[in-house]
Structure 1
Amino acid sequence: MSEQQNLTYAQELLKAESGDVRSLRPFEKYLVGIIATGWAVFQMALAGGAFILDGTKTRAFHLAFAIALLFLLTPLMRKARKGMEYFFVTDRIPLMDYALAVIAVIASLYIVIDYDGLAYRAGMPITRDIAFGVVLVVVLLEAARRVIGPALSIIAIVFTVYAFLGPYMPDFLAFKGVSLRKYCSNISLSTEGIYGIPLGVSASIVYLFVLLGALLDKAGAGQFFTDLALSFLGKYKGGPAKAAVVASGATGLVSGSSIANIVTTGPFTIPLMKKVGYPAKKAAAVEVASSTDGQLMPPIMGAAAFIIAEYVNVPYIEVVKAAAIPAFASYFGLFCITHLEASKLGISGLAKHEVPVFFQTLKGGLHYLLPLGVLLYELIILRHSPEMAAFRAILILFVVIFYQELRRSFKAGTGIGQGFMDSIRIIGMGMIQGSKNMMPVALACAAAGIIVGVVNMGIGGMVAQIVETLSQGNIYLLLLITAIASLLLGMGLPTTATYIVMASLTAPIIVQVGGNFGFVLPLIAAHLFCFYFGILADDTPPVGLAAYAASAIADSDPIPTGIQGFKYDIRTSVIAFLFVFNPDLLLWEITSWPQAIMIFVMALIAMSAFECFAQNWCLIKNKWYDIPFFLAASFTLFHPGGVAHRFGVGEEYKYYFFLLGLAIYAIPVFMQSMRKRNLVEAA
């Protein structure tokens, strides 16, 4: 395929991820546009205090918007099949989907329509309540199946069936069971299930951050981040790959989707990586790894940061603080990978004339940094709520868009009126795209709420007992089971849904079993562990859609690309295991800036040592006797407390092992520098 065809295929994957696969007729485009824009205006007005709405009602309206858009945009079947063409209509909206959209909206809003009656009948629903509750579950599972595949719906059905058939199960799986009345009361008619914490966070916070990302993208910020990274790094060894890492990390600040990251930065960085000498597979894998890890970067973290804050019951800024060092260490590790790969392949940077001028590029897009600066200032300095910070950043971005377009129209001589209309068009497109991007997140949170609700009805204790029995009470085996389960589950689910399911089932058990082994594990470490392995599923073969998107742009085979990307992401799994046993990496209970900086520096050096081992290269190719030094240095710097314990040294002296770690790291570097000099002299 040609480059344009490859890019088109990658963009189609992005559309499929958001469920936007139909080519609509003009009046249908207006209908979808009105609903999508209405959703954005509703969320903005709510955040801005234009009106005050009860939390349950907010969640219901949020779900109604998402589910209506889904049925209007996504056909029942993902592929055309002979004799069933009506169920794969992509050139219009069929009558069936109009009907489903109306039914789904009414079912979603039933909790609003009869709000007082349901409150009065809490726990004792009448036949009408049960009927609407069952309809809501059915249409929600169908909506989730359409937009994110069958996995989440199947898991929700399995949990539901188990809830009803529990009394008839074998002894070790036996459960007292639930009635249809209790099931509907918990799942459909209260905030214990569908309208639970995940959907609440999606409605109150996540939408605004996704909208901010969509508006930035439509305004041109994605191109700016890519150009800025190239202007700064393009001339160095393996420059385009390093630029891809930085650009994807910057895009990941406001994007919750790895595929969106790839489609934004990949068309520019992947061809440049191939041009300087990276094989297509490795060029695509670098983009996959960097875009996937964009979900690690605060402030959004694939929408999970806000849900983690609610589940762990800590301020959002504490989640950002905990996620910061692991995220930067992971990105630094990928940066090291690109450098080591370039060294192995003898790749240099781009020619001077191919690199954008840094200050000129920065000047041309400096205004894009203003809303991000406001966002971080509001969150970190003023400590405002995430929704308020995002709302004010969006308002600043509106001003930036008007400034940008009016300035362009003035320069082009097309008049202020044209600039004003262009600004309105960009804002409208951003709102529509933000709503489309939000669909899978909102529906995943709502559908995962079914599973969480069933777990909270008593099954959670049973599942916890089964998992603990499987792990035989061993914390290491439990973490391994959780990691493998997250990878397998994540092959069919978006990251946020994988995290919600796994954290609900295993996070408390990890803390409990860790305590049995004498490890003081903060709950946030267990939650981040589940989240990290949910992210890794995005490039896990054979399903990883991120690998398919990047391989389409690079014109490489998707399975080898996914395998290579997964190899690059081993560093992320290592960090996840390490911060469970060394909560210092999460800055847990650490308030000293010098101590935090020390941990950060040690983590970066430890990651570089680990990558020298993983890539089998430092200054030159490793010898077998180099490897133990790299591993020892990495472990010592990542977990000095563990090394101090081995030597019988008190915890208060553990940071003195920083010097030991550096000394161990210096040994193979010195040996390789001597071997490299001998090779040069021999040549």
Structure 2
Amino acid sequence: MATAHEALTLRDRLRGMSGVAVGVTLIAMAFSLFHLTTSFRGTLSTLQQVYVHLGFAMALIFLTRPIVSEESRFRRLRWFIDAPLVVASVVVSVYPVVNFLDIARRGAGDPTEVAVVLGVIATFLVLESARRMVGWALPLLSSIFIVYAFVGPHLPMIIAHRGFNLERVSATLYLTTNGIAGTPLQVSATYVAIFIVFAAFLNVSGAGKFFIDWSYAALAWFRGGPAKVAILGSALMGTINGSAVANTVATGTFTIPIMKRAGLRPAFAGAVEATASSGGQLMPPVMGAAAFIMVEVMGRPYSEILTAAALPAVLYFVALFAMVDFQVARQSIKGIPRKQLPSAWKIFKKGWHLIAPLVLLIYLLVIVRYTPIKAAFFATIAVILASWLRANTRMGVNRIVGALKEGGLSMLEVAAACAAAGITIGILMLTGLALRLSGLLIDFSGGNLMVLLFLTMGVSIILGMGLPTSAVYVVLASLVVPAMVKLGVEPMAAHLFVLYFGVMANVTPPVAIAAYAGAGLAGADPTRTGVIAFRLALAGFILPFLWVYNPALIMQGPLPQIILAGLSALIGILSLAATVQGYLFSSIARIHERVLLGIGAFMLIKAGLMTDLIGLGAIGLAIGSRFMLGAVPLPPSPVLAPFDEAETEGATT
């Protein structure tokens, strides 16, 4: 039970807010409570579930993202624009919820005049809310496809169609599950939403701080330890929250200053945080909710998704650890003395109970085989119960309200992006282009799998620059994966391929959003930070090609083959790290040694006995050169700034 003091604090907080702030808090809380309720009792019909979700999201977006800033001299105009948009958001969302039976009976072919008008308004609201949340790129793409629906007869034969009138386009986008309420928003309104709420409760309970503090105490004494803290802490948090940018900002507030103090350059510190935060979405068991979306899209068991994703995620983070370790070794950067660090064991004893909800989540999914939505509900309740085992983490009324509000506001970006993506998919389905897209991709690639993979990589990265990872995956799983499967790619390999490159968009210049967030915290040049993050994440750009040609890396095949593929890839990515960072056996690598290591890396990464032998031979020559020519001296160790123990308390919650 909450104490009287906690309840009083909550009342005082609400009294100190403006009317708008109180309204936002209450709506965001109701948003989270709606998803907690439906995750336990069962979701509504598809159209009802989606439009309740979208109504909450759009109302909050227009309340929290005003069309003009508070500093603008035109700020008084805000309510003449935003207030009607909030009301319209409620109206267009309530109509399908109340009339879903009539809509199902009529279908898109016989809409009422009211429905057509509301469909036009709903489409505009979705595009505007997406613009405010994720920028112009996605709404512009959706708008182009809307125009495409009308001008089809006037286009070249390869993409032409018979054309559709306003009534049909409006009804399809608004009243069917092939438009705004399509697969992307359905995923947002079920799997993604409840896991965002779960992540918010974990965060407010102090689990985020525990992950960072424990990682700091356990790793900061290693060479370049603060950077390795960022990697481990960001991996733990990133797998839960599913947003590379949010994770970069949350954990980077603590880790980036510590890395800079240890002697790492600001751009490198920001890049490490961004690369690790992005990779967290690839790390089981939650994978930023992607694992559960894959269960729904592929129809495969959760345990199979988990198993397939495990080895690639481990290899990604091993490569990142190696990249960072070789860089700090090259700069002679040492760890923080152990006597200045808190005890990892003491921190673990104080916070171990915060791991219990994650353990329960995995147990319910793997052993009990609950649906991901129901498992997330019980895991969220477990967060509250577990928090009461320690006074400093106890969640009373004030903290629960904070978690509900944070959960509701954290859903906005994903909901807006998924709704806009639904418009694009809806037009593709309506015009028949979606059915021809696989054939077009295969024709464009000339039936060459490697060309198709590069095309898919490019599309995934481009979409990932303007969409959350979960939305990128849902879109490409529907549109691009079938073409890959037609050319013989194992379905699991194809689905993981598009997921990985959707994640890699966060650290791919020129729009490396997570890297730019890290650069802002580090006070570094964004472009340079993005380039460094791209180099650090290089393994993430290579591994997907490997498992397409060698599915043993995703646990598809006999055990000896899996072990051999894993060892070969491990040696290969370590050699790749040595090549990129120019470091070999405690000294700087010479040019010819880096060339040999690079050849060895790519030969080992590619499956096959002959390529493995060539790769090992090239690496052996590089090592032999080191013993014959001797080591290149490293620079002197930098002088560390005075250490402030208060920094260990700086993790954000």
Superposition TM-score tier, normalisation by shorter sequence: 0.7 to 0.9
- What code does the residue aligned with 2:502 have? G
1:543 aligns with 2:491: no
1:162 CA displacement:
0.7
Partner in structure 1 of residue 536 of structure 2: 568
Q: Please list the CA deviations of residues 52-94 of structure 1 after superposition, one character each: whole Å capped at 9, or x if unmatched.
A: 632332222111111121111111257976x74446x5xxxx2
**Amino acid in structure 1 at the alignment position of 2:427:** V
1:79 to 1:113, Cα distance in 2 relative to 1, 3 A: same
Selected match of 1:528 from 496, 507, 510: 496
Within 5 A, what are the aligned runs for 1:105-504? 105-122=90-107, 123-404=109-390, 407-408=391-392, 423-457=396-430, 458-504=432-478
Letter of the 1:175 counterpart: H
1:608 lines up with 2:599 in the alignment: no
CA–CA distance in structure 2, aligned partners of residues 634 and 541 of structure 1:
24
1:584 aligns with 2:552: yes
Secondary structure of the corresponding residue to residue 370 of structure 2: coil
For residues 44 and 385 of structure 1, the distance between their equivalents in structure 2, rounded to whole angstroms, comes to 14
Deviation digits for residues 492-516 of structure 1 (CA, Å, limit 9, x no counterpart): 333333334444332222222xx2x
Change in 2 beyond 3 A, CA 1:441/1:245:
same
Q: Among residues 589, 612, 626, which one is paired with 1:622 in the alignment?
A: 589
Kindly state the Cα deviation for residue 358 of structure 1 after the two structures are TM-superposed.
Answer: 1.1
Q: Which residue of 2 aligns with 1:8?
A: none
The answer to whether the 8 A contact 1:578-1:638 is kept is: yes
Distance 1:679 1:144 in 2: 53
Task: Report if aligned partners of 2:159, 2:433 keep a CA contact under 8 Å in 1.
Answer: no
Shift of 1:603: 3.4
How far did 1:534 drift? 2.0
Alpha-carbon spacing, 1:499–1:170, altered in 2? closer, same or farther (3 Å): same
| Partner deviation per Cα, 1:298-343 (whole Å, 9 max, x = no partner) | 3343443333333333233333322221111111110001110011
Q: What residue ranges of structure 1 are gaps of 5+ in the alignment?
A: 1-23, 410-418, 648-656
Output the CA distance in 2 between the equivalents of 1:595 and 1:358.
38
**2:483 aligned to which of 509, 512, 536:** 509
Task: Give the Å deviation of 1:279.
Answer: 1.1
Q: Give the equivalent residue in structure 1 for 2:12.
A: none
Q: Secondary structure in 2 aligned to 1:384? A: coil
Displacement of 1:576 after TM fit? 1.8
The 8 Å contact of residues 232 and 358 in structure 1, kept in 2 or not, is answered as yes
Give the letter aligned to residue 115 of structure 1.
F
Alpha-carbon distance in structure 2 between the residues aligned to 1:540 and 1:352: 36
**1:267 Cα deviation after fit:** 2.2
Q: Secondary structure at the match of 1:253?
A: helix
**In the alignment, is the contact (CA less than 8 A) between 1:78 and 1:146 conserved in 2?**
no
The CA deviation at 1:631 is 4.1
Is the CA contact 2:494–2:548 (under 8 Å) kept in the aligned structure 1?
A: yes
Output the CA distance in 1 between the equivalents of 2:538 and 2:477: 21
User: Equivalent of 1:42, from 12, 34, 37?
Assistant: 34
Q: Distance in 1 between matches of 2:534 and 2:163?
A: 41
1:611-650 equivalent positions in 2, closer than 5 A: 611-619=577-585, 620-627=587-594, 629-631=596-598, 633-635=600-602, 637-640=604-607, 643-644=608-609
Q: Does the 8 A contact of 2:506 with 2:512 survive in 1?
A: yes
- 1: distance between equivalents of 2:302 and 2:469? 19
CA deviations over 1:254-294 (Å, ceiling 9, x no partner): 11111221222212221221122211111111111111212
Distance in 2, matches of 1:570 and 1:166, equals 41
Between the aligned partners of 2:630 and 2:340, the Cα distance in structure 1 is: 31
Is the contact between residue 333 and residue 611 of structure 1 (CA under 8 Å) also seen in structure 2?
A: yes
Q: Which moved more, 1:209-218 or 1:468-477?
A: 468-477
Give TM-score, length-normalised by structure 2: 0.88
Tell whether the 8 Å contact from 2:588 to 2:631 is kept in structure 1 after alignment.
Answer: no
**Alignment of 1:62 onto 2:28:** no
Separation in 1, partners of 2:86, 2:563: 52
- Post-superposition offset of 1:380: 2.6
Q: Counterpart amino acid of 2:386? A: V
Distance 1:429 1:171 in 2: 55
1:493/1:86 CA distance change after superposition, 3 Å? farther
Match in the other structure for 2:24: 32
Aligned amino acid, residue 38 of structure 1: A
Whole-angstrom CA distance in 2 between matches of 1:316 and 1:300 = 10
- Name the SS for the 1:171 alignment partner: coil
Hey, what's the Cα distance between the residues in 1 that align with 2:170 and 2:301? 32
- Backbone CA RMSD of aligned residues: 2.6
The CA deviation at 1:667 is 4.9
Paired with 2:449 and 2:406, the residues of 1 have a C-alpha distance of 43
- The answer to whether the 8 A contact 2:184-2:471 is kept is no
Letter in 1 for 2:121: V
3-state SS of 1:521 partner: coil
Number of residue pairs matched? 616
Shift, 1:167, TM fit:
0.5
Q: What one-letter code is carried by the residue in structure 2 that aligns with 1:604?
A: L
Distance 2:417 2:577 in 1: 35
Question: Aligned partner of 1:39: which letter?
Answer: F
Asked if the contact 1:187–1:194 (Cα under 8 Å) also holds between the matched residues in 2, the reply is: yes
Distance change >3 Å, CA 451–CA 304, structure 1 → 2: farther
Sort the Cα spacing of 1:623 and 1:79 in 2 relative to 1 into closer, same or farther, 3 A.
farther
TM-score (norm 1): 0.84
Alignment match, 1:412: none
Q: CA deviation at 1:625?
A: 4.1
Residue 194 of structure 1: CA displacement? 1.6
**Matched residue SS, 1:173:** coil
1:204–1:387 Cα contact (<8 Å) kept:
yes
Question: Which residue identity lines up with residue 572 of structure 2 in the other structure?
Answer: A
1:99 has 2:67 as partner: no
Percent of aligned pairs sharing the same letter:
35
In structure 2, give the amino acid aligned to 1:668. Answer: A
* More RCO (CA 8 Å, sep 6+): 2
Task: After TM superposition, give the deviation of residue 564 of structure 1 in Å.
Answer: 1.0
| C-alpha separation in 1, matches of 2:69 and 2:457 | 30
Could you say what secondary structure the match of 1:579 adopts? helix
Deviation of 1:578 after TM superposition, in Å, equals: 1.5
Aligned amino acid, residue 503 of structure 2: I
CA contact (8 A) 1:333 1:608 kept: yes
